[in-house]
Amino acid sequence: MIQTGQRSTMNGGEKILGVEGGGTKTSWVLVERAGNELSVLDQGKLPPANFRLATPGELRAILSELPKEITSVGIFLAGCGTEEDRQSLTRLCAEIWPKAKIVVGSDRHSGLAAALGHGDGIVVNAGSGSSITGRRDKRIENAGGWGHILGDAGGGYFLSLQALRLILREYDRLYKELVDLEAKFPDLVTPDSPTQRVSGRPLQAFAQIQHRVPMLSLDNTYSEDEVANFYKRITRLLPDEKVPVVIEPKVDGVAVSVMYENGRLKYAATRGDGSVGDDITQNIKTIRSVPQQLRGSAPKVFEVRGEAYLDKDGFKKLNKEREAAGLPLFANPRNAAAGSLKHLNPKVAAQRPLGMVFYGTGAT
């Protein structure tokens, strides 16, 4: 643990800021000390601030959100375990609070202080990761705290992985049981069975599907002025209306329409020319995030529209496999997603790590 700086004189009592950050969140509290009395002035939560996982820029951005007018600050972050780490964190804090007394360390230090004060004992930190710290007199012993890559038994990350392994193992067991059952009783096979996500035979060509409601495209812009002018045009058309605006990141994928009838997936189609698109039902069925049967009381006709996409990690993995096989590489994730959906063999699409995000509805 490192301490630096001088306690400054401010109006009123001493204002002390305490911060503890880990892999899930960063918690902070601002207190004022007047004599032996402490009163909470403010508190809150910020994004995760694990010293090993966050870049200096990310840490600076998170800590810059905290109150500035303080006398002393204590910053305790998971992963801040070496002298070099603490010196680096101290320099960063000095940029943000140049006049404050600064104390930095790891969440082990804050855990000891909070639980034991100056006394002896053992403290178990069980959060995203986990660690055990024991103190007797001036001797301190540590166990765990290796981080999510090596794994901390008892930590949230470790327990989540264990739970996921159990779920996948049980899914595989049930899936095999279903395959055996359907092989024995073929008349029990239904179109929405998990075994039917990948069709057995490649298509000769894509059939055409007429959109019940035209599937229009979105316009692009790279200018804030164009966005502002677009909003002005809307307000001129609706002078007596207060027009709310929602701005969100756009997934750069391939526009897809998925039609459900009586809750069951009927077909999926590309946008095409807006009126007619290609039938890509067999390929969409290979995307596990797309339900083949809706839960609950579904409407008779329900069309959802969204983007089929390939994330960056999946794109890198796919291109690495293609390079090893001597195949041409995809130029970008969007092209890779489009090529996967337009492949006539659904078994190829099933091997691609495609995802789907829905943003609107069509025919209902």
Cβ(133)–Cβ(115) under 8 Å?
no
Q: Is 156 part of any domain?
A: no
Residue 100 belongs to domain with CATH number? 3.30.420.40
Same domain for 312 and 205:
yes
Choosing from 250, 266, 316, 347, the catalytic residue is 250
- Region 62-82 average pLDDT: 92
Boundaries of domain holding 268:
201-218+247-361
Q: Is 65 part of any domain?
A: yes
Instruction: Name the domain count of the chain.
Output: 2
Percent of the chain with pLDDT over 70: 93
Whether 316 is catalytic is: no
Same domain for 101 and 206:
no
Residue 85 pLDDT: 92
The per-residue pLDDT of the chain, averaged, comes to 86
Residue 7 pLDDT: 47
Q: Is 115 part of any domain?
A: no
Same domain for 335 and 207:
yes
Q: What is the pLDDT of residues 183-226, one digit of tens each?
A: 888 888 887 787 776 555 555 778 899 999 998 877 777 788 88
DSSP per position, 112-162: HHHHHTTS-EEEEEESSSEEEEEEETTEEEEEE---TTT--TTSHHHHHHH
pTM, whole model, 2 decimals? 0.49
**Last residue of one domain, picked from the residues 72, 105, 138:** 105
pLDDT band with cut points at 50, 70 and 90 for residue 238: very high
- Region 58-72 average pLDDT: 94
Residue 210 pLDDT: 92
Q: Is 29 part of any domain?
A: yes
HSE-up of residue 222 (Cα within 13 Å, Cβ side): 0
Q: Is 234 part of any domain?
A: no
Tokens at 302, concatenated: 């329900």
pLDDT band with cut points at 50, 70 and 90 for residue 2: low
**Last residue of one domain, picked from the residues 105, 120, 146:** 105
Between 18-32, 100-114, 126-140, 304-318, the lowest mean confidence (pLDDT) is in: 126-140
Residue 8 has pLDDT above 50, yes or no: no
**Last residue of one domain, picked from the residues 56, 77, 105:** 105
- Region 144-157 average pLDDT: 70
Amino acid, res. 223 = S
Q: Is 175 part of any domain?
A: no
Q: What is the pLDDT of residues 9-45, one digit of tens each?
A: 445 689 999 999 988 889 999 999 888 888 999 999 9
Instruction: Enumerate the H helices of 22-106 as residue ranges.
Output: 56-63, 83-96
